[in-house]
Amino acid sequence: MSRIKEFNLPDLGEGLTEGEILAWLVKVGDTIELNQPIVEVETAKAAVEIPAKWAGQVQAIFHPEGSTVEVGTPIIAIDTEPGAGPVEQSTTGAPATDLPTPSAASLAAVEVAPTEGAVEPGLIGGPAPGGRTAVLVGYGPRTTAAKRRPRKGAAPAASAPAAVPAAPVQHSPVPVVPAPVQPPPPAVNGNGRSSGPVLAKPPVRKLAKDLGVDLSTLTGSGPSGSITREDVQRAAAPAATEPLTVTSPVSSAASFGADREQRIPVKGVRKLTAENMSRSAFTAPHVTEFLTVDVTRAMKALDRLRGRREWRDVRVSPLLLVAKAVLLAVRRHPMVNSSWAGDEIVVKEYVNLGIAAATERGLIVPNIKDAGRLTLRELADAMTDLVQTAKAGRTSPADMSGGTLTITNVGVFGVDTGTPILPPGESAILAFGAVREQPWVHKGKVKPRLVTTLGLSFDHRIIDGELGSKFLRDVGDFLADPEAALLAWT
């Protein structure tokens, strides 16, 4: 068994096809332990540290930082027995072109065809590098002389031995032989490429489909003429247009050429978000309702909660009360926490509460598993850990999978509310707007009160107007008077 083991980029979950290497945590020559993090990879959902499958010494790193690698591609080589002495050349892996030398017995079994029937190099039955005979896979070399059928119209070569005297030359008229008919050249496309099968890996084909690129029109730059990701991306990028020049009596118009444009590759979290939002927006029929609520009492309740000794070290925010309101409203209206499954609706008795988080890498939605079973203190701690982990870029794919209902806090950006798009597989999402001091009619008088606006988007295949309105009304009632709602509902 070879000492050198190549570690392939694993599938980190949910159909991952590729990942970008953000940072190598080891270098060539380092001694590593089993399960030690060796590389940080950005997937479509998160940045993940991948641990080593073996202990040993790093022999080679195959891809630099910043490169995109397909799942199953070797990324690092590890010597699992570094104390066994120097690694032999054969152990480290010879190049693919260094083929084993055939034995004398195998060479003796192959009869070389005479010059008359010799086959050109590279053809079946002809010579190949290393003294081998080129054969079709699974058919082995022929042990008889390989002869080619004489071409039509060509004079046969003389086969008599040189010792036989030549016959007297007969001067007879040479018959006129029509020129051989050449087969028509293969059909080519506009780029001069043969219209045969297209060589491209599945991830490249998927990229071409997403970008609307016809692979048959491309000329591959990869091995054996295969089409690479770079070929597809170059074809998808529109050609730079000449800047328009408009004559003006005062001054010439500004140039709008490609030199004043920035092109940002769509990958990672941004790519996944785009795919999910497009699929959800054009699959689930969205309906959005709005409710403006006086949350003055809820804000006062938060102040009293912060003043308690056991809550002084806990991060308490208005979002905590919104999350609690949503969880209590789900108990009263379980159908809101469901998903569409084609010919049936799946109503879930657990709530994996998603909290949308804006990070430097884009928008992600990690979720708190079984949040309905948590106390208010446990919910506060879980939300704090979730947000801190997301901002640090350490959210795992498992934490972003399996969400059942989501809250997006657009109020932190000073926005009143919005019409959020449903995450795929969920039937409702609540937008929580900014809390502002506004004039409000309270006890028959106009007074300044703390007011917010809620926006609930839901899947109209599952949730009709009545159910969506009752759910949103319950969330608003809790935020308007949390103490009374807790006494009435629990």
* Residues with a known catalytic role: 460
Q: What is the DSSP string of 68-90?
A: EEETT-EEEEEES-GGG-SPPHH
Q: Rounded to an integer, what distance in angstroms lies between the CA atom of residue 92 and that of residue 6?
A: 10
Alpha-carbon distance of 96 to 131, in angstroms, equals: 16
- Max CA-CA distance within the chain? 133
CA 105 to CA 33: how far, in whole Å? 47
- The answer to whether residues 46 and 393 touch, using CB atoms and an 8 Å cutoff, is yes
Tokens, residue 453: 């606006």
State the burial class of residue 185 (Cβ atoms within 10 Å of its Cβ: 0-12, 13-18, 19+). Answer: exposed
Nearest residue to 387 via CA among 431, 364, 420, 357: 357
Any bridge partners for residue 18, and if so which?
A: 70
Q: Which residues have CB under 8 Å from 364's CB, separation 6+? A: 45, 46, 269, 356, 357, 390, 395, 400
Which helix (H) or strand (E) segment is 407 a member of? strand 405-408
Burial class (CB in 10 A: 0-12, 13-18, 19+), 297: middle
Distance of CA 298 to the CA centre of its chain: 42
Beta pairing class for 56-61 and 362-364: unpaired
DSSP state of 188: B
- Cα 191 to Cα 184, 195, 233, 287, distances in angstroms: 19, 10, 16, 48
Q: Are residues 269 and 364 in contact, defined by beta-carbon separation less than 8 angstroms?
A: yes
Cβ of 282: how many Cβ atoms within 10 Å? 9
Taking a C-beta distance cutoff of 8 angstroms, is the pair 471, 329 a contact? Answer: yes
